[in-house]
Homo-oligomer: A and B are copies of this chain.
Amino acid sequence: MNQTNRKAIMKNSLYIVIVGCGRLGSLLANRLSHSGHSIVVIDRDEATFNDLSSDYSGFRLEGDATQMAVLKMAKLKNADVLFAATHEDNVNLMVAQVAKKIFHVPHVLARVFDPRREQVFDQLGIETISPTSVAAEMFLMAVASGHEGGSGAPS
């Protein structure tokens, strides 16, 4: 366990940078801020910050996270976790790689919409979460369970 993590556990709070303040980014920012973590949310569009709840106590940073200057302003080198959650897979990949390789953030995750890109991300050592794949799995499970055990529809 590295220094950052040990410190994180000691203080019981993480420094988390979230790129993209859409539905997912804002949902995470609100929940993690509520849990007592220190959050910075970055988005190019200031209007997206309206989705942050009134008790969100983190920072809002308007800017393009593919620019080094913006990531430096977010103090990314101090971050315990980075989550790349914009709507563009390629932006998420770039930001995740910069966070990992240049700022040495210990825990980097990226959202990837296109399941065909997951393998590329994997090979580049980026942990991914694919809403498409997850939704597909959930649907397939629902079909399988309805198939075996009845659909729950009125007979």
Binding site for B on A (CB under 8 A): 1-2, 5, 8-9, 14, 16, 23-24, 27-28, 31-32, 80-81, 83, 104, 106-107, 109, 111, 113-115, 127, 129, 131-136, 138-140, 142-143, 146-148, 150-155
Contacts and interface: CB of A to CB of B under 8 A. Distances in A.
Contacts of A109: 139, 142
Nearest to A148: B9
A32 B142 CA distance: 12
A65 B41 CA distance: 38
A90 to B, nearest CB: 15
- Copies per assembly: 2
Contacts of A5: 146-147, 150-151, 153
Given A2-B150, A2-B155, A24 B135 contact: yes
A23 to B, nearest CB: 5
Contact of A135 (B80, B111, B154): B111
B143 A107 contact: yes
A5 B28 CA distance: 39
A111 to B, nearest CB: 6
